[in-house]
Structure formats: structure tokens, C-alpha cells
Structure 1
Amino acid sequence: MRIVLYLATNIAILFLLTIVIKLFGLDAASHRNLTSLLIMAAVVGMGGSFISLALSKWMAKRATGARVITQPQNEAEQWLYSTVQRQAQAAGIGMPEVAIYDGPEMNAFATGMSKNKALVAVSVGLLHNMDRRQVEAVLAHEISHVANGDMVTMGLIQGVLNTFVVFLARIIGSLVDSFLRGNRDEGGSGIGYFVTVMVAQVVLGLFASMIVMWFSRLREFRADAGAAGLEGKGAMISALQRLAAGHGDNSLPKEVAAFGISGHWGKLFSSHPPIEDRIAALQRLA
């Protein structure tokens, strides 16, 4: 969720900002001046990334239908809330919102704009199919993501990549527009410029996503190590083994790819490393 949904929101916002820029003619001069273009690209790129980050909790709740626990209604919810509270204190972060969402899959995610205003959510399937020691390890993994500032760091990386995507897309658009015009001087940019910019943003955005996913895979190993520190290496390994055993029955929708679930787009577009690699990394920990 925190990766795939964030990327989808980021792409949508970039498209919206591109249309707004075109409608108001804000890039009419900037695409002919590299300095102005770079400044505009940075504003759009970083702005789009952090708008996506600011919306991440709201989008996650909407996508999953997660119900935030404001007042625990039973012993299981009280245990879940207390576990997150204990781990958050141990990790030195503010108490996150704790939520449960319906779904048979074993899954959990954490998202939010800052360490002290995060959201940690678990599926009903996770609570029903893992023992409490394993669930504690999964929660510790998500808490470690929050404590490590992964979403903010992701926002910075995505913002820099967005900047280059916006910048290069307009350079390519200008070249194509100039080629289509030939020797004609019609003033302003033509439809070829706008269409090329939109297509180039998609293509370049895919390459940028590969970089983001590579970074995400690295952070998963660090979150696993953090969970091992909070709840024990054995508990984290046990949780991953249980997740691997139930992977064949996982009907998780694409937009909610989270804890330990490899993407369907191959290794380059997977937000998580293979579970066996994660277990091997944990076994090497002192």
C-alpha cells in the first residue's frame, strides 16, 4: 500500500498538474529557457510528491475501507492497540492510528506524512491466520518503517525523480514540436508538444518507478532488522515463513501490495524482495 498506492497517486497528481500548467500557459516560456524549466520542474515534481505523501493516509483508508480503532471494542482490538502503543514507545515515535480492514489475505501496511502522525493497519486475515507472536513481528516491521522515516525519504526520492521526469519530458516535447513545425514559426507550442510531454512522462515515470522500487526493497531488509530488534529474530522469521506458506491463497488486489508480497510486474517493479532472501538476511543477523 505505502509504495504502490503512493506511486499511483503521485502519477495522477503529476498528470493533473501537467494539464493545469498547459491550460494556464505556465510553461509557454519555461520550456524555451532551461533554468526556468528546471525551476518549474522542481516545483511541480517536489510538489506532486509531497501532495501524494500528504494524501497517503486518506488514500489508504479509502482503498481498504480500514476502520480506525478509537475505542477498542473487544479483547483482540485492545491487544492490537496496546501492542502498537508498546512498540511505538520502544521505537521512539508518536502513537500511530491503528486500523483493521476486511480482507482474507495476510497483510499489513504503514503510511503517513511523519513519524508522529502515521497509520498502521492490519487485515482481518492476518489476525486470523497468524499467532500473536507472528502478528507482533508484522506490526514491529511496520513500526520500523515509520521509525526509519521511509515514507518521508521516499517522498524526497520521488520528488527528485519527478523533477527529472518533468524536465526531460518537456525537453523531448520541445524537440518533437520543433521537428513537426519544420521552418514554420507559429508561436507557442503545438499539440505535438503537449502529447509528447504526456507520453514521455509515462515512459520516464516507469523508469523512475524502477528506482523507487529498488529503494523500497532495500528498506524492507532494514524494517525486518528493526522488527527483529523489537520482537526478536525468531518471531520475524516465523511471520515471514507463515506469510510464504499462505502466499498461494493470497488474493490481494494490486493497489494494496504490502508486507512481503512481491509485485506482479517482475523483480524490477516489485516493492519487496523475495521472502526467502529476507529470511536469509535475518538469519545472518547477530
Structure 2
Amino acid sequence: MKRIMLFLATNVAVMLVLTATLSLFGVNRFLTANGLDIQQLAIFSLIVGFTGATISLLMSKPMAKMSTGARVIDPQAPGSAEEQWLVDTVHQLADRAGIGRPEVAIYEGEPNAFATGAFKNDALVAVSTGLLRGMTEEEVSAVLGHEVAHIANGDMITLTLIQGVVNTFVVFLARVVGYFVDRMVLKNERGGGIGYFATVIVCELVFGILASVIVAWFSRQREYRADAGSAYLLGAREPMIRALARLGGMAPGELPKSFEASGISGGKSGLGALFASHPPIEDRIRALMAAGGKR
């Protein structure tokens, strides 16, 4: 529940900052001064909706390295036999997947791993020291296959596009409702009044929560695909099943909220499941067993 409240508070803060900034620059009043211009509002919403998501994607690699303290392994001069094995394994999996070889990194922390990056041929795969200590080589290989599958499937770009689309609808619908309340209910003929401002804030909060549920659902579907992708790349489903079972018995390492969905572990029950970026481990294992390792 604490993580859900933090998630909702973050969304509220983003919406408040966005709305206040637009109001200061007079954008809200411009959109409503002479009646609501749907075409202008649609273009405006599209720009605002995709700007944040796109910037986040483009900055994902450096932000991931900085926030986790991940150290990229030099493929020409790895520091140990383990690092050499990690680089070789990721590169072999990338070659099988038909993508460019990602950077490979290690960071200190509890069991987790992630992949990020705006482009398939310029991505990053990182694993925690806790995951390396707690898993066999075969299980780590399966986790690496999962992360490479994310890259090959274009999951980071897909989720950014989905986030951009739902952001666009949130911005658009919040202002349509705000205009209706300001003009029709409060009878403000000048446009952009306090009723509009307050309604937009409330609607962005409510619609933003609903949008987050949609994005989380798509994120969970991509986890199933990445699990199946790992089985495909390794030529067997058993390593990924064993890796998931091992993860289920470990305390997962937390990642920064901005790219928590990129991690290998996660999943919640109850109300939190609606906002979870990952399905429960048990569901993922069942899906893999039912799919027979097919991509």
C-alpha cells in the first residue's frame, strides 16, 4: 500500500506541475478564451503527452547507470572471469536475437536485472550482484535471455508509445471536462477560470490513475513475452522456469521508480496488482509451461 500511495503521489505532483506551468504561460486561457478549439487542443495534448515519455526513454540509459551505480564492463578488458562470461553470454543471446550487442553492466544490490535503452542496437543489460550470487549460471543465462528478449521485442519503445497515447488522452479529456464545468456549470464566459483550473487538476489525477492501470496491464503482457523469448533464445523453457522459481524465493531488489518496470522481478496481489508492472511469479511460470517455450 505504501508503494501505491507513493506512485499516486508522484502522479499528482507531475500533473500539478504541468497544469500550473501551463496556467502561468497562459496556455489554458488561450485554449478556452473564444470557445474550446478541439483541433488546437488535440495537437497541444499530443505534444504534451509524448514529450515527457520520449525524453524519459532517450535518457533511460544514462539515468539507469547513474541511479543504480551500474558499472559497464569493458568487453575488451573484463575485470574477472565472471564478467567475461556475462559479456559473452549477453552478446551470444543478442546475436541469436538479431540485435546489436548491448552494453553489459553490474550493480550492487539485491536480486534483480534490467534492460533499458531507446534503440535495439544501443541498449543496456544490467544485473545485480545479489542475482549473480543467488543463481546458477543456467538461471542467470535465462534472466539475461529475458532482458535481451525485451530489447529484441522493442518493449521499451512500445511502452513509451503506450504511455504517450494515454498521456495525450489524459491531457485532452481533462481540459474538455474543465471547459464544460467552467462554461456550462459555473457560467464563466471569459474562459480559463478557477473552475477550469481546479477541474483540470482533479480530472488529470483521476484519468491519470486510470491511465496507469492501462499502462501497467500492457507492461505485464510484455513480461510474459520476454519470458517466452528467453525460452526461445535458450532453446528450452526449463531454465527460465527455474530462474523464475528461484526469484520467487528471493527478496527482490528494488529499482528506482522511473524504470522499475524494466526489472526482472515484481508482481503484487490485491489492489496493487492493478498497478503492478509485472505479473506474479506463479502466473509467469504457468504461462511458460502452457506455452511450451514458444515465442
TM-score (norm 2): 0.85
Q: Which residue of 2 aligns with 1:33?
A: 37
Q: Structure 2: which amino acid aligns with 1:67?
A: R
Q: Distance in 1 between matches of 2:283 and 2:185?
A: 50
Once residues 146 and 9 of structure 1 are traced to their aligned partners in structure 2, the CA distance between those partners, rounded to angstroms, is 27
* SS, match of residue 28 in structure 1: helix
Cα offset, 1:180, TM superposition? 7.0
Kindly tell me: are residues 10 and 100 of structure 1, through their superposed partners in 2, closer, same or farther at Cα, counting changes over 3 Å? farther
Cα shift at 1:17: 4.5
Residues 14 and 45 (structure 1 numbering): CA distance in 2 closer, same or farther, change over 3 Å? farther
Tell whether the 8 Å contact from 2:183 to 2:191 is kept in structure 1 after alignment. no
2:96 corresponds to 1:93 = no
How far apart, CA to CA, are the structure 2 residues paired with 1:209 and 1:102?
A: 30
Match of 2:137 in 1: 132
What is the aligned partner in structure 1 of residue 60 from structure 2? 56
Counterpart of 2:89 (choices 79, 83, 92) is 83
Task: Note the 1:1-286 alignment, pairs <5 A.
Answer: 16-31=17-32, 32-70=36-74, 71-103=77-109, 105-178=110-183, 181-182=186-187, 185=189, 187-231=190-234, 232-246=236-250, 249-250=251-252, 252=254, 255=257, 256=260, 258-263=263-268, 266-286=272-292
Q: CA deviation at 1:153?
A: 0.8
Alpha-carbon offset, residue 190 of structure 1: 2.4
Contact residue 144 and residue 223 of structure 1 kept, 8 A:
yes
Distance 1:148 1:10 in 2: 28
State, as a whole percentage, how many aligned pairs show the same letter.
53
Structure-2 change in CA distance of 1:65 and 1:209 (3 Å): same
Q: Which moved more, 1:223-232 or 1:23-32?
A: 23-32
Following the alignment from structure 1 to structure 2, what is the Cα–Cα distance between the partners of residues 236 and 8? 35
Q: Separation in 2 of the partners of 1:223 and 1:266?
A: 22
For residues 247 and 9 of structure 2, what CA distance do their matches in structure 1 show? 25
Change in 2 beyond 3 A, CA 1:8/1:218: farther
Structure 1 residues 78 and 9: alpha-carbon distance in aligned structure 2, compared to 1, 3 A threshold: farther
Q: 1:22 Cα deviation (Å)?
A: 2.2
Contact (CA 8 Å) 1:53, 1:112: kept in 2 or not? yes
Provide, for residues 194-229 of structure 1, a one-character-per-residue CA deviation record: whole Å limited to 9, x for no partner: 333233212211111111111111111111111001
Assess, with a 3 A threshold, how the Cα gap between structure 1 residues 11 and 116 changes in structure 2: closer, same or farther.
Answer: farther
How many Å separate the matches in 2 of 1:203 and 1:122?
36
Structure 1 residue 243, shift from structure 2 partner = 0.6
Q: Is residue 106–residue 129 contact of structure 2 (8 Å, CA) maintained in 1?
A: yes
Contact 1:13 1:52 in 2 (8 A): no
Give the superposition deviation at 1:254.
6.7
Q: Deviations over 1:33-72 (max 9, x none)?
A: 1121111111111222211211222322232221222342
The one-letter code of the counterpart of 1:233 is R
Aligned partner letter, 2:291: L
Deviation at 1:154, TM superposition (A): 0.9
Q: Which amino acid aligns with 2:146?
A: H
After TM superposition, give the deviation of residue 73 of structure 1 in Å.
1.1
